[in-house]
Structure 1
Amino acid sequence: MEFNCLKFMCLLQLLSSLILVLASSIEASVPSTASAEIISRFQHYLQINTAQPNPHYYEAVDFLISQAKSLSLESHTLEFVQGKPLLLLKWPGSTPDLPSILLYSHTDVVPSEHHKWVYPPFSAHIDDDGNIYARGSQDMKCVGMQYVEAVRRLKASGFQPLRSIYLAFAPDEEIGGEDGAQKFAQSEIFDQLNVGVVLDEGLASPGENYSAFYAERSPWWLTIKATGAPGHGAKLYDNTAMENLLKSIESIRRFRASQFDMIKGGLMAEGEVVSVNMVFLKAGTPSPTGFVMNLQPSEAEAGFDIRVPPTADPESLEKRIAEEWAPASRNMTFSFMHQVTVYDKSGNRLITKTDSSNPWWTLFEDAIQKAGGKLGKPEIFPAATDSHHFRKRGLPAIGFSPMANTPILLHDHNEDLQCNGQLRLTDINFDLLFLNQDEYLKGIEIYESIIKAFATYVENGGNKESKAEL
């Protein structure tokens, strides 16, 4: 009897321990009321359809203004082009003469093929594991709302910035940013902000280290056109339009392969090489049933999306285009539909320094580490963002989206943010992708640390808050 009682007591103690562990696990898995409200606000922003070509800009702006009012932030809506509002929020600093901080984001997103999504792209659906499906979850509504939530936390803590902090929500980045960020950066209004540093979007990182970008590749959209005498499809001619264009395409293909080989060999990162991709090919004589098959065309044209890093030699590349890819000697011409410079207004490369000569970078690194994050080697952004409009003014601009352990899916179907260990892009099933709310919440803590560090920095005097703590 005594043995049985002892056994019963042991079992009861074990059961109690299991209940405590289970309760602790449930508590950890269920978000707090505050976290739930944060996620709800994020969902609301994601559910606003701001997809090009018909984004609901004003609906997004109205929502963001409501958030600004709840935080007692000043708000101004600017329209450099009618129908494309840029919202500017301000948190005044106690020392407004110091250069300000610009937290930049864009409200528009790319279009979606709805039938290829597991859940509707503007539903912001959350599954049982806390994974959020939505267009804009990576690019870049997550960052815009993380700014807002970081400011909310700082204000709740009683923090008062020395520097004024601006939050900009711009239109049309996904179609070039010409009516939003470009006009904003060139305006007298922007001059009056006295901006000292800009934070803009980056990319997710599949590993545990956050990715940060100090430059980006400039887009050159090149069209090459070849002309030649038309002729019968059965006869061999020299210097036909198609023959000359094919020679150019082959030359470009070899150059592309040489750049790609450097990436494959681990010699250079994707953002460090010149990428070239053919995006259209136009030739032939149309007929009611397709094309005339026994006639060689007199014209042939191809388009290429070229991305040029600021570390490349643009003059050498233009010479290659003129002499090798589209030589006049082969009856060829070329033109740029879009060509973004790699130099700022002073003739310097569009590069933000990532060493001790740039105090903003040092503050940025330290703030991430202080918040428990890890930063990888700084990179060149492989595509284009609105950062180049600010770098062209000579301003330091850092591209950063705090999404670690996350596949890069900013324009893919089921755009998401995933917290899934050391997942590689080659391992991804594109029908099973999601945004994890824990990664989003962690990003808010990271931005809180960065904003706090930036807003208390005094040139030639270090960080005011750090000195006070000492």
Structure 2
Amino acid sequence: MSYIDSPPPRSRLLRLYFLSLLFFTLTASEDPLAILSRFQQYLRINTAHPNPNYYEAADFILSHAKSLSLESQTLEFVKGKPLILLKWPGKHTYLPSILLNSHTDVVPAEHHKWTHPPFDAHLDHNGLIYARGSQDMKCVGLQYLEAIRKLKSDGFEPARTVYLSFVPDEEIGGHDGAEKLADSETFKKMNVGIVLDEGLASPDENYRVFYGERCPWWLVIKATGAPGHGAKLYDNTAMENLLKSIESVRRFRAAQFDLVKAGLKAEGEVISVNMVFLKAGTPSPTGFVMNLQPSEAEAGFDIRVPPTVDQASLERRIAEEWAPASRNMTFEFKQKVSVYDKFGKPSLTVTDSSNPWWALLEGAVKKANRKLGKPEIFPASTDARYFREQGLPAIGFSPMANTPILLHDHNEFLNKDEYLEGIDAYKSIIKTYASFVEHTRDGASREEL
């Protein structure tokens, strides 16, 4: 009897069974419906402030990490705020690693103003997935994992170690999440060479990409003066002096805004100033005392400062023009993030040939048959700033083309096809970054590697 006619050994049958099971699992996991279902599951976890369900989100991420055979650890720098760190070990552990960062929290939603409930992850007949976090930024966190799932099914093995961080609290400043991670001993041991973090949706066909971000300066200006009868006219009242400051701020804001309206600068390249509160007057049982001029008045401003401006010049403007002591005025910062990194350089990531990570990103996106737009400064703040402060290159990128910008808006949504194409973009990027061995942070040559 020939070998081919004999029954296969039991061990071979088992091996064939497990291989077929593995093939079925990988094939099923590649199915678009399964991919979208996982995205919807993540979106349905309510991680909105002020009471984000971080532990449920952490369990969800850890379960998928296990299915991908990724190493994982849960860091809890602050009790009740788990940070999930995943690791895909590279073949060359001496090479600087890649960090893919995303945040698990989302901003609150006014449920009654949504067409579909914000945590139902409703998929409509047009292929739009409505959910809080669909753009900001649960999409990116899951796209990382789905891209790795595809790479693993292709048999790809990274040369560099790839880390994924799922951090809490980005929407309230990131102080108990990414900031603590960036300052930790754990992070130092990770030997990170490049960080990818969130970007913004793009209304056109080009993906938006960010090399820096405006830093928040939350300013409170206070004016004092003698109280007086509501009918009396006299100089240097608290309200009069504060109104002079508000007008000065308004003129500055208008000049900056004009640059954007004229197309001379992008929004992220100007200093934005918005008054967010005005506090004055003497309360009464029916409202405010109408015949008494208050002795104190204050206003709050949300200022966003790009790293390209002269920080000292803006500080002088505030002290000398917006809140001069000569008008009985003082000021304080509720938050003031420096535009410089810890080495005293503007907190920006280079976007020319001197930064190989930038060229690699451009090439990887092109391989995925998509295009990058002109690099921008992010108009708001992200967790990327904590890594740039360490002197690391960090790029903001969320692959959402032909999509209206709806982060923090009612009816936030993402088209299912854009989500799926974004996975392929990350697959190309991760593969390109993780295969790169010609550069290390200390400038070692290829021969030395």
Whole-Å separation in 1 of the counterparts to 2:73 and 2:439 = 33
1:61 equivalenced with 2:58 (yes/no): yes
Q: Which of these residues, 300, 303, 314, is aligned with residue 303 of structure 1?
A: 300
Q: What is the count of residue pairs matched by the alignment?
A: 414
Moved more, 33-42 or 381-390: 33-42
Cross-structure match for 1:100 = 97
| Percent of aligned positions that are identical | 74
Q: Which of these residues, 333, 336, 352, is aligned with residue 333 of structure 2?
A: 336
Cross-structure match for 1:377 = 374
TM-score normalised over the length of structure 1: 0.87
Decide whether aligned partners of structure 1 residues 305 and 121 sit closer, same or farther in structure 2, where only a CA change above 3 A counts.
Answer: same
Q: Is the 8 A contact 2:195 2:387 kept in 1?
A: yes
1:445 equivalenced with 2:445 (yes/no): no
Whole-Å separation in 2 of the counterparts to 1:197 and 1:405 = 27
Decide whether aligned partners of structure 1 residues 348 and 32 sit closer, same or farther in structure 2, where only a CA change above 3 A counts.
Answer: closer
Whole-Å separation in 2 of the counterparts to 1:32 and 1:209 = 28
The letter of the residue matching 1:442 is E
Q: Deviation digits for residues 171-191 of structure 1, max 9, x if unmatched?
A: 000000001000100000000
Q: Which of these residues, 69, 79, 86, is aligned with residue 82 of structure 1?
A: 79
The letter of the residue matching 1:261 is D
- Tell me the SS of whatever aligns to 1:245: helix
Q: Deviation digits for residues 235-256 of structure 1, max 9, x if unmatched?
A: 0010000000000000000000
The letter of the residue matching 1:139 is D
Q: Which of these residues, 264, 267, 272, is aligned with residue 270 of structure 1?
A: 267
Q: Which of these residues, 145, 148, 152, is aligned with residue 151 of structure 1?
A: 148
- Tell me the SS of whatever aligns to 1:174: helix
The letter of the residue matching 2:45 is I
Cross-structure match for 1:42 = 39
The letter of the residue matching 1:398 is I
- CA displacement at 1:32 relative to structure 2: 10
Cross-structure match for 1:116 = 113
Whole-Å separation in 1 of the counterparts to 2:122 and 2:30 = 19
Whole-Å separation in 2 of the counterparts to 1:212 and 1:47 = 28
Cross-structure match for 1:9 = none
The letter of the residue matching 1:241 is A
Q: Which of these residues, 283, 286, 289, is aligned with residue 286 of structure 2?
A: 289
1:279 equivalenced with 2:276 (yes/no): yes
- Tell me the SS of whatever aligns to 1:280: strand
- Tell me the SS of whatever aligns to 1:242: helix
Cross-structure match for 2:355 = 358
1:414 equivalenced with 2:393 (yes/no): no
Runs of 4+ with deviation above 4 angstroms: none
Q: Deviation digits for residues 349-398 of structure 1, max 9, x if unmatched?
A: 00000000000000000000011001100000000000000000000000
1:208 equivalenced with 2:187 (yes/no): no
- CA displacement at 1:54 relative to structure 2: 0.3
Cross-structure match for 2:194 = 197
Whole-Å separation in 2 of the counterparts to 1:107 and 1:32 = 22
Whole-Å separation in 1 of the counterparts to 2:372 and 2:381 = 21
Whole-Å separation in 2 of the counterparts to 1:209 and 1:129 = 22
Decide whether aligned partners of structure 1 residues 328 and 460 sit closer, same or farther in structure 2, where only a CA change above 3 A counts.
Answer: closer
Cross-structure match for 2:167 = 170
Q: Which of these residues, 391, 395, 401, is aligned with residue 392 of structure 2?
A: 395
Q: Which of these residues, 425, 429, 433, is aligned with residue 454 of structure 1?
A: 433
The letter of the residue matching 2:230 is G
Whole-Å separation in 2 of the counterparts to 1:96 and 1:122 = 40
Whole-Å separation in 1 of the counterparts to 2:86 and 2:254 = 46
- CA displacement at 1:33 relative to structure 2: 7.1
- CA displacement at 1:459 relative to structure 2: 2.3
1:138 equivalenced with 2:135 (yes/no): yes
Whole-Å separation in 1 of the counterparts to 2:438 and 2:293 = 68
Cross-structure match for 1:347 = 344
Q: Is the 8 A contact 2:203 2:403 kept in 1?
A: yes
- Tell me the SS of whatever aligns to 1:178: coil
- Tell me the SS of whatever aligns to 1:142: helix
The letter of the residue matching 1:304 is F
| Matches for 1:200-239 after TM superposition, within 5 Å | 200-239=197-236
- Tell me the SS of whatever aligns to 1:282: strand
Q: Deviation digits for residues 91-148 of structure 1, max 9, x if unmatched?
A: 0001111000000000000000000000000000011122100000000000000000
TM-score normalised over the length of structure 2: 0.91
- Tell me the SS of whatever aligns to 1:439: helix
Whole-Å separation in 2 of the counterparts to 1:38 and 1:213 = 27
1:187 equivalenced with 2:184 (yes/no): yes
Q: For structure 1, which runs of at least 5 residues remain unmatched after alignment? A: 1-30, 417-434, 462-466
Whole-Å separation in 1 of the counterparts to 2:254 and 2:122 = 41
Whole-Å separation in 1 of the counterparts to 2:300 and 2:329 = 13
Cross-structure match for 1:312 = 309
CA root-mean-square deviation: 1.2
- Tell me the SS of whatever aligns to 2:31: helix
- Tell me the SS of whatever aligns to 2:359: helix
Cross-structure match for 2:70 = 73
Q: Is the 8 A contact 2:29 2:35 kept in 1?
A: no
Whole-Å separation in 2 of the counterparts to 1:132 and 1:92 = 33
Whole-Å separation in 2 of the counterparts to 1:251 and 1:243 = 13
Cross-structure match for 1:4 = none
Q: Deviation digits for residues 159-205 of structure 1, max 9, x if unmatched?
A: 00000000000000000000100010000000000000000000000
Cross-structure match for 1:17 = none
1:161 equivalenced with 2:140 (yes/no): no
Q: For structure 2, which runs of at least 5 residues remain unmatched after alignment? A: 1-27, 441-445
- Tell me the SS of whatever aligns to 1:223: strand
The letter of the residue matching 1:146 is Q
Whole-Å separation in 1 of the counterparts to 2:125 and 2:251 = 49
Whole-Å separation in 2 of the counterparts to 1:42 and 1:64 = 11
Decide whether aligned partners of structure 1 residues 115 and 404 sit closer, same or farther in structure 2, where only a CA change above 3 A counts.
Answer: same
